[in-house]
Structure 1
Amino acid sequence: MMKQPSFLSLTVPWQHRYCHGGTLRKTSKGRGSRPLSTKDPIHLVLKINKSTVRGGLRNRYAFKLMTALIKRYSLKFFIKIEQFSIQNDHVHLLIRGSRRSKLQSFLRVLPGQFAQNMTDTPETTNEGKKDRREKIWKYRPFTRIVKGFKPYQIVRNYIQLNECEANGRPYSKTRLRGLTQEQLIELWNN
């Protein structure tokens, strides 16, 4: 008796087993189901097209809107926001959720509501076709489950460093790798 072929047997390389979305989606590495965890924190990255949002996400309107939406929908879907940073062209969030369905809803609703509020509804032309506009989001939301304490500290420091750079700290190529313990303490005191 022959078994039915399984379409879920896509082999994901070990370094991408806890990741999904973003640029991985364009390759076969990110085409499985999105791994989500209710026990471990999740690093979420949302990236916009720079040409669609004037002034980027750090302009007054977009920054206020994104902050309000994060707070609103984290309360609605019982998502704990441990840390977030809004950059000019992307958003970093470190989140925890109690249920997979709530996490999925948060990942669906937050970008959708931001895109709806930033653009007008597409108008119907005379021929009945909808007006096509450029997409707000460059990629699907990138998520990575953070397993272990050391990776958790690295993600927290990375998000904090991004926030400091958005507030005027000069960009460094070495970023977190070149920081001493004193510089890490200074990073968190700003």
Structure 2
Amino acid sequence: MNQQTFSSLKIPSKHRYCHGGILRRSSKGRGARPLSHKDPIHLLFKVNKIAVKGGLRSLRSFSLMNRVLKRYSAKFYVKVEQFSVQMDHVHMLVRGSRRSNLQSFMRVLAGQFAQTLTDTHSLKHEGPKVWKYRPFSRVIKGFRPYQTVRNYIQLNELEALGRPYSKTRLRGLSQEQLVELWE
């Protein structure tokens, strides 16, 4: 049996290394999830606001996300380089040793967080779904995109802590502003 290559898929180059999230609604995000054990991966989990009262930054949800993240990143040998928990979504920059470990990490992290949050370990959850979309993932190719994603996640974390939001957040930041971002 031949192994399927990503280059054989008819995916526009803009979305070649992306999968999930709102892309699932179109044919662009319905192929195999591109994952890499060499390159970092930007993950985004978007929560349904109705299902999570108080948002993900509430004390219970925030500590729960941290515990689940630490536990399963160690179990599946996934290095979480950076993460930011917002009110309705979570950004992560991760690296994994194997594709199967990354797949299991994403599946178990989402499932365990949702089950623990809704206290439905043995019963079926009757309320609204916890996750709004499937996790969005993007393989980061190259150093400049890697730096951009790191700065973006850092900026999101600072905005969650009270920094004012701006539409032109990462466009045109000077070197001094980038240094200030990481202080």
> How far off is 1:133 after superposition?
1.8
Aligned 8 A contact 1:122 1:131 in 2: no
| Residues 75-154 of structure 1 mapped to structure 2, 5 A cutoff | 75-121=74-120, 132-154=126-148
Alignment correspondent of 1:182: 176
Partner of 1:49: 48
Question: What is the CA-CA distance between 1:120 and the residue it aligns to?
Answer: 3.2
Q: 1:85 to 1:123 in 2, by over 3 A?
A: closer
1:136-162 Cα distance to aligned partner (Å, 9 max, x none): 000000000000000000000000000
Q: Give the SS at the match of 1:92.
A: strand
User: Aligned partner of 1:170: which letter?
Assistant: P
Is 1:26 the counterpart of 2:7 in the alignment? Answer: no
Q: Which runs of 5+ in 2 are unaligned?
A: 1-5
Identity of aligned residues (%): 68
Distance 1:174 1:55, change over 3 A: same
CA distance in 2, matches of 1:176, 1:120: 39
TM-score, with length taken from structure 2: 0.93
- Secondary structure, in 3 states, of the residue corresponding to 2:31? coil
Structure 1 residues without counterparts, runs of 5 or longer: 1-7, 125-129
SS at match of 1:143: strand
How many residues are paired up? 178
Q: Is the 8 A contact 2:118 2:125 kept in 1?
A: no
1:172 aligns with 2:166: yes
Q: Deviations over 1:10-43 (max 9, x none)?
A: 5111110100000001110000000000000000
1:157 matched to 2:151? The reply is yes
SS in 2 for 1:164: helix
RMSD (Å), alpha carbons? 1.8
| SS state at 2:102 partner | helix
Distance 1:103 1:122, change over 3 A: closer
* Contact 2:51–2:127 (CA under 8 A) maintained in structure 1: no
Deviations 1:93-152 (A, max 9, x none): 00000011100100100000000011133998xxxxx66321000000000000000000
The SS at the match of 2:87 is coil
How far the C-alpha of 1:179 sits from its partner, in A, is 1.5
- State the distance in 2 between where 1:108 and 1:89 align: 19
* 1:51-104 CA distance string (max 9 Å, x none): 110110000000000011111100000001110000000000000000111001
* Residues 122, 133 of structure 1: 8 Å contact kept: no
- Say which one has the larger Rg: 1
